[in-house]
Amino acid sequence: MKEQLFRHVTRRICGSLDFDEALHEVFLYLQKIMPLDGIAVSIYEPVQRMARVIGISDEHCGYLLDESFPLSAVAWETIFKWLEESRSGTIPWIRNHTHPLNQETLRIARMHTPSVKARAMEEFCSITCALTLKRTIVGNLTFIAEGQHHYTTSHADIIKEINEPFAIALSNALRYMDLVRDHKALQRDAIKISGDTMIGAEGGLRGVTHLMDQVARKETPILLLGETGTGKEVVAAQIHNASQRAKAPFIRLNCGAIPESLMDSELFGHEKGAFTGALETRAGRFERASGGTLFLDEIGELPLAAQAKLLRVLQNGEFERVGGGRSLHSNARIIAATHRNLPAMVKEGRFREDLWYRLAVFPIRIPSLRERKQDIPAMVHHFIRMKCEEMNLPFRPGTEPGEMKKLLSYTWPGNVRELQNIVERALILSEGRPLHFGNLMADHHCLSAMPFPCESETNENLDAAMEMHIRTVLKKSHGRVSGPDGAAERLGLHPSTLRSRMKKMGIPYERANNIYRPEGHKAGKP
């Protein structure tokens, strides 16, 4: 019986790269032999105190979520204890609806699960097993059944038996999802036509490509300067691919997206037990990028304390993991990028002068889109072709006469990223007809009417413009942050990214209702 169970589950969960479909196949099989109304695969992230739900399945289908949710302190108390116990062996965790973690799970399911049954569920019991590979916990597998006291030790034996194939499938799925995410990230910022040829290489980017050719095969640190959305990450990736390190890792870190308390751990890694939630030793970005390239995006957002430690690594290549006493070495090449005025920040004491001189050995300024409008027609045709393939559209429309002139007359505060997003939205609305851009560009009227801050101006104007733009789009989406026609979709951002920016800018948001609340509005009134 155990061999048959293992064989059937392995064939189903490892039989497809579409993790949601594979999960549903397992659900349909297991539902015949045990109480089961849902399966969830998740990862507990102790440092952030978040539960990252990778996928779920019910009787209807599987859903690939890959979204993180905060859990209460009470829930984390029990999670910490169980995770520590699970490190020494597979210990199924049986819980009824009164357990604080199940109460949290029920809350999340009602908010985010597409299943009507899940949203209507009043109580459920569950059994969870830590998925382990080589004594490392890679995630968690949870069975859910409506009602109470359905799960016993016999069901614990089932979940233990299928631990290995689920752990392998989750590990493979995470690698595949990372590859897809990296590919899409490059596509979002893409300014390529094909191969190593950038759009504008012989036009508006001629100076940039010349500098790239000169420095790519050197070991010199590079500082990319330019406004948000100009394609700095794409330029960094191309420099890496043209360098002698092309076969080694290209590791990215957005310094503006990491909380200050986690910056040291992200850069240098941490040892097991270094702080609460550090259940495993983890390599940092410098360690992972050794032999390759480390791209530090938004370097101007790096806290002063982290700047001092970064300077040490740049000087002698040495660093220590958080909680460790052993010096490690990294020979990663640094490519940094920023839209900030770093010399002004140095004068104000917000950026170290010695670090500035270390990074700015070879600066490359990426021009804004309004400075190279001659490249816009080629970009539009490229984005049409790329998005048609990405969205599997059966058509590839051209542009309506006169529309290109509108694009050329626009100021493009969002640069290449904004152009790409407008082309994508036009394709969605076109239904195969020639593309119109006027109405879409009107969404950005509040920005196009404002003088865009130049390099000599402070960045507060830019931040204010970004905040105004986000608030305007939120109002147009009737306060809805995520989902169809939500602000995140309109802006071409991941919902988590938009929520992070809203939090940083102090824009009110009610996660429970997934809506933006303008100041002065009462609850219940979008």
pTM: 0.53
Phi, psi of 55 (to 5 degrees): -160, 155
Q: Is 83 in contact with 137 (CB distance < 8 Å)?
A: yes
Hey, what are 291's tokens?
A: 């032999």
Candidates 492, 486, 483, 452; CA nearest to 468 is 452
Hey, what are 72's tokens?
A: 């209460």
Candidates 190, 127, 138, 199; CA nearest to 164 is 138
Hey, what are 75's tokens?
A: 């829930």
Exposed e or buried b per residue across 234-263, where buried means at least 16 C-beta atoms within 10 angstroms of its C-beta: bbbbbbbeebebeebbbbbbbbbebeeeeb
If 0-12 CB within 10 Å is exposed, 13-18 middle and 19+ buried, where does residue 2 land? exposed
Q: What are the structural domains of the chain?
A: 2-179 (3.30.450.40), 196-367 (3.40.50.300), 372-516 (1.10.8.60)
Q: Is 130 in contact with 140 (CB distance < 8 Å)?
A: yes
DSSP secondary structure string for all residues of 341-360: -HHHHHHTTSS-HHHHHHHT
If 0-12 CB within 10 Å is exposed, 13-18 middle and 19+ buried, where does residue 101 land? buried
Hey, what are 95's tokens?
A: 């819980």
pLDDT of residue 196: 39
Per-residue pLDDT of the chain (526 residues; tens, 9 = 90+): 678 888 889 889 888 878 888 999 999 999 999 999 889 999 988 878 888 889 888 888 888 878 888 888 888 888 888 888 887 777 888 988 788 888 777 776 666 554 545 555 677 889 999 998 877 888 999 999 988 888 998 998 899 889 889 999 988 888 877 766 665 555 444 434 333 346 776 788 889 989 999 999 999 999 999 998 888 988 999 999 999 999 888 999 999 888 888 889 899 999 888 887 777 788 899 999 999 999 999 999 998 989 999 998 998 889 999 988 888 999 999 999 999 999 999 999 999 999 999 999 999 999 999 999 999 998 898 888 888 888 877 778 888 888 888 899 888 888 888 898 889 888 888 877 888 886 666 554 444 444 444 444 444 556 677 788 888 888 888 888 877 778 877 787 777 778 878 877 878 765 544 555 555 444 443 3
First to last CA, the chain: 55
pLDDT of residue 509: 65
pLDDT of residue 186: 53
